[in-house]
Structure 1
Amino acid sequence: MLNRVSKPFVRLVERYLPDPYIFVLLLTLAAFIAAMVVEGQSPAAVVTMWGEGFWNLLTFSMQMLLVLVTGFMLANTPLVKGMLDRLATLARSPGQAILLVTFVALAASWINWGFGLVVGALFAKALARRIQVHYPLLVASAYSGFVVWHAGLAGSIPLTIATEGHFSQDMIGIIGTDQTIFAFFNLAIVIALFLVVPLVNRLMLPPKEESTFVDPKNLEEAYEGDPEITRPAEHLENSRVLAWLVGFSGLAFLFQYFVKGGGLNLNIVNFMFLFLAIVLHQTPRRLLNSLNEAIKGGAGIAIQFPFYAGIMAVMIQSGLAATISSGFASIATERSLPFWSFISAGLVNIFVPSGGGQWAVQAPVMIPAAQALGAEIPRVAMAVAWGDAWTNLLQPFWALPVLAIAGLKAKDIMGYCLVLLFITGGIISLGLTFL
């Protein structure tokens, strides 16, 4: 039944969803118009906000580009490719491949969102090299695991409010992760999604005659072997000693970092991917060959993220994001505030796809509303976190690394993600409201 239900959504998205670059241009214009119409901002003021904020995500843009590049290079090492291929042997049929890639992506995303994006995409390719399975749904399944990231160990909102000195500490104090990430209601939602999302993806699998397969040869990264050394500098390029001295130094730092109690964050994930790749590629030349392949998929990230930074600046500085949040909070009750916080966060996330940035926008509205209504502040905070993660199934911003690794376009997977958007939205809403 779900296969039949998904077909209209898949056709709709394939026909009308533009390239993510066009999508971000349309969102830019929508933010301009909304800021002028709703907030009464002048065109000149809106353009100033946009232009001044355009480069505010340069650090984050580089981090995301490195998620793609370092993850690709690590997966391109013989050891990791072999591990992924061995794990892929657990799937003996297309249906099992869909279930397995979804579960792995969910688990990896709950640990760390950057880790989940790369692992899911790379594992999908490993499965496609072994099994004839509908490739767009396989990649969509890998991306669908991302829906749990903000309720996991790297969730920026729960970690922010658990950190001494956070910007809203004078209003709510320090809220430990036992009340957010590890609270019963949150864990129950996560467990429900671990059960439902793989099943939904499996039920959307089309019959073989309607499936789109990919040639396994197109998923292989060619290895041409080490070149013949003809000049002194090439001895350094092919030196295992040089690579290992630097590579094991990086791994030594990671060992010390984790022994001292350090946790996973985006910089640490990228650092780990990079230095593991340096060691496992064995020579600088092999790493550089892999880098040349990896960087080809980074164009979308490099050009689109600055536009989202500009949109974020317009949404925040014009007051539009706060107006959206206030509008939903004004119709809420003590019981329904988490639900409306979730919905408003999902809407804001389409324009401001950044968990930490979104909490900075919505906290000044949602916290006073929760205090006035007597609602649970940890639950409201997690509702904003879930809303931020939820509409990533619609917003192609975060799918760019996955699509670059898999070699697909947003329109190929977003129809399936749209079905999941409705189903997961219902599960999350019920959990936030009634558990």
Structure 2
Amino acid sequence: MLRGITSFFDRLIQRYLPDAFLFAVILTLVVFGLGVFFTGSSPVQMVQFWGDGFWDLLAFAMQMSLIVVTGYILANTPFVKSILQKLSTLARTPRQAILLVSFVAAIACLINYGFGLVVGALLAIHVARRVPNVDYRLLMASAYSGFLLWHGGFSGSIPLTIASEDHFLSESIGSIPITDTLFSGMNLFIVLVLLLTLPLLNLWLLKSNGDLSKNNLDFIKDDSDEEQLAATTSDLTPAERLENSKIISLFIGLLGLSFIVYHFVQSGFDLNINIVNFIFLFLGIVFHKTPRNFLNSVNDAVKNAGGIIIQFPFYAGIMGMMVASGLSEQMSTWFVNVSTEFTFPLFAFISAGIVNFFVPSGGGQWAVQAPIMIPAAMDLGVSTAKTAMAVAWGDAWTNMIQPFWALPLLAIAGLKVKDIMGFCVIILIWSFIPISFALLFLN
């Protein structure tokens, strides 16, 4: 039965899901039509909302592009390659490969979502080189499945936002400490269940999928013998001597690493996306030893960021239409109207999952839904902390079938979104069970 279900979703996705860019274009047209028919906005207004929001994610697009670029640069240093290769030796069979990648990616995403996406993809590539008969598509889907846990971890934007003293709802709900959100019994239950069951689920999917023909040999081939040619000191121009200077790389690298130490001393364990990029960048400079080696790696890395650069503005335009037309508010309000005190957390979770499909940003989604969900929770007598985590888990849940967050991992893996999405549908269906149970029965 599982083989049949998995094969059905895989064939369906492979046949009908277009490239991630076309998916964003189709989603744009769908939201445009929904806004015209359900919010009373005119076509001209929807075009305005779309254009006004189109460039709102430029800073975030740059951050995610750098996650791909700096992660690739760091991964291709001899030092990090040796670590990933040693870690990959823990897997000797396809089953062990799936279990290892699933578990490590989930732990990494609990620490930080950007870190987890990159680490999961890079480890999967090294594991695939050691176990070439593993299904490469499922291996990358297993790496991506760890991203399901991110909003219940240390980089969860919603629990971290409401824990601050000056967030935009502080006057009505005050500051909610992470002991009531991230370290609540409900959240710890969801995290623990998913952490233990996702590797087993992915292993189950391996048993149900016998097609190994779509392994990406260009990405899993062993490149351990490919070494950058070191320049000889003879016949070098002064500029070339600078490009091959280990002293320059060491100095600028230590300068960057000094700031990282300063940041953690001053701010504690604040592993935000900028700090992750900062760490990756300057470790890459140090471990590549010379500016020339580093720049050669940069030239290779930027080829992987094209999809993010061109697609994120379209998602920003979709968010602009959703928010400015009031469509996201209508979706949230409908779920509130059919909720009771008992069912409200579950409906908040489902509504967040739907809205996330069109507004795939945790912080952005909270800004849209919080002004609706929090007053409704207070009127029904539902915990505001639980409501916030319900929205957070809804945001994380449908990331499994929303290409937006898969783009960095797919860029590193050399795959298309349809290559992993059939497996991710099964992960989405399973994860609904423990999340909804916890939201209904645990605090």
Q: Residue 398 of structure 1 aligns to a residue in which SS?
A: helix
Contact 1:147–1:390 (Cα < 8 Å) also in 2: yes
Name the TM-score, length of structure 1 as normaliser: 0.98
User: Percent identity, aligned pairs only?
Assistant: 54
Amino acid at match of 2:66: L
8 Å contact kept, 1:74–1:274: yes
Q: Which amino acid aligns with 1:226?
A: A
Q: 1:209 to 1:358 in 2, by over 3 A?
A: closer
Alignment of 1:307-318 (within 5 A): 307-318=314-325
String of CA shifts for 1:89-131, please: whole Å, max 9, x gaps: 1112100110110000100001100000000000000100100
Structure 1 segments of 4+ aligned residues over 6 angstroms from their partners: none
Structure 1 10/208 Cα, relative in aligned 2: closer, same or farther at 3 Å?
closer
Hey, what's the Cα distance between the residues in 2 that align with 1:163 and 1:309?
26
Q: Are 1:403 and 2:406 counterparts?
A: no
Following superposition, the deviation at residue 170 of structure 1 comes to 1.1
2:387 is paired with a residue whose SS is: helix
Give the C-alpha shift of residue 224 in structure 1: 3.1
- Distance in structure 2 (CA, Å) of the matches to 1:42 and 1:217: 50
Report the equivalent of 1:210. 211
Aligned to 2:385: 378
Corresponding position: 1:255 with 2:261: yes
Give the number of equivalent residue pairs. 435
Q: 1:117 to 1:153 in 2, by over 3 A?
A: same
Matched residue type, 1:45: Q
Change beyond 3 A, Cα 1:395–1:312: same
User: Residue type of the partner of 1:391?
Assistant: T
DSSP 3-state at the match of 1:251: helix
Conserved? CA contact 2:92–2:130, under 8 Å: no
The answer to whether 1:225 aligns with 2:203 is no
Distance in 2 between the 1:162 and 1:19 partners?
A: 38
Q: Which residue of 2 aligns with 1:387?
A: 394
Amino acid in the other structure paired with 1:316: V
Q: Secondary structure at the match of 2:130?
A: coil
Residue 241 of structure 2 corresponds to residue 241 of structure 1:
no
CA RMSD of aligned residues (A): 1.3
C-alpha displacement of 1:195:
1.2
SS at match of 1:46: helix
Contact 2:342 2:440 (8 Å CA) reproduced: yes
1:130 & 1:208 partners in 2: Cα distance? 20
- Higher mean alpha-carbon deviation, 157-166 vs 204-213, is at 204-213
Tell me if 1:357 matches 2:358: no
How far, CA to CA, are the matches of 1:193 and 1:3 in structure 2? 22
AA partner of residue 15 (structure 1): R
Deviation at 1:209, TM superposition (A): 5.6
Aligned to 1:174: 175
- Mapped to 2, the partners of 1:257 and 1:130 lie a distance apart of 37
Structure 2 counterpart of 1:288, which letter?
L
Q: Who is 1:84 aligned against?
A: 84
Match of 2:45 in 1: 45
Q: Which 5+ residue runs of structure 2 have no aligned equivalent? A: none
Q: State which drifts further: 393-402 or 213-222.
A: 213-222
Q: Distance in 2 between matches of 1:335 and 1:209?
A: 43
- Give the TM-score, by structure 2 length: 0.96
Shift in Å at residue 208 of structure 1? 8.6
SS state of the match for residue 397, structure 1?
Answer: helix
* Aligned-partner Cα distance in 1 for 2:249–2:396: 38
Question: CA deviation digits over 1:226-250, x for unaligned, max 9?
Answer: 2345322110101000001000010
Candidates 256, 281, 285, aligned match of 1:278: 285
Specify whether residues 87 and 169 from structure 1 end up closer, same or farther in structure 2 by C-alpha distance, changes over 3 A only: same
